[in-house]
């Protein structure tokens, strides 16, 4: 019998929930028969965050919110518009040079 790696299990649980606290995630893992030490739990969350799969934010001193990381195309559009604006402003700083109309 093949067992799913811990980080895959954690990712699937968070993905199905959308978002949850670290204590909710820990309780869900225990219900599924997965009991891990706190340091391994934190390492798994860190790895998933480094891979860009989840986002972990602190809610209180002792509680974290865990959610699936989303890549929004709207942010990409905003970044592109900001870059284009900065490029136009930079080019406008050189008087006497013809500007291209975008």
For the domain covering 1-92, report its CATH number.
Answer: 1.10.10.10
Question: Residue 69 in contact with residue 54, Cβ under 8 Å?
Answer: yes
Question: Rounded to an integer, what distance in angstroms lies between the CA atom of residue 47 and that of residue 8?
Answer: 11
49 vs 3, residue with greater confidence: 49
Q: Domain boundaries in the chain?
A: 1-92
Secondary structure of 28-70 as H, E, C letters: HHHHCCCCCCHHHHHHHHHHHHHCCCEEEEECCCCCEEEEECC
In the three-class reduction of DSSP (H, G, I as helix; E, B as strand; rest coil), residue 19 is classed as: strand
Task: Report the pLDDT value the prediction gives residue 81, as an integer from 0 to 100.
Answer: 81
Average pLDDT of span 69-89? 73
Average pLDDT of span 36-60? 93
Task: Report the pLDDT value the prediction gives residue 2, as an integer from 0 to 100.
Answer: 47
Question: Rounded to an integer, what distance in angstroms lies between the CA atom of residue 41 and that of residue 36?
Answer: 6
Question: Rounded to an integer, what distance in angstroms lies between the CA atom of residue 45 and that of residue 40?
Answer: 9
Q: How many CB atoms lie within 10 A of CB 95?
A: 5
Q: Model confidence at 75, in pLDDT bands (50, 70, 90)?
A: low
- Determine if the pTM surpasses 0.75: no
Percent share of the chain, pLDDT over 90:
56
């Amino acid at each position: 019998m093949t067992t799913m790696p811990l980080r895959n299990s954690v990712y699937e649980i968070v993905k199905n929930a959308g978002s949850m606290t670290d204590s909710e995630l820990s309780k869900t893992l225990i219900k599924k028969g997965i009991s891990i030490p706190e340091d391994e739990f934190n390492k798994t969350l860190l790895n998933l965050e480094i891979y860009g799969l989840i986002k972990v934010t602190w809610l209180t001193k002792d509680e974290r919110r865990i959610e699936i990381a989303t890549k929004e195309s709207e942010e990409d559009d905003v970044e592109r518009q900001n870059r284009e604006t900065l490029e136009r402003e930079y080019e406008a700083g050189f008087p006497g040079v013809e500007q291209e109309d975008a």
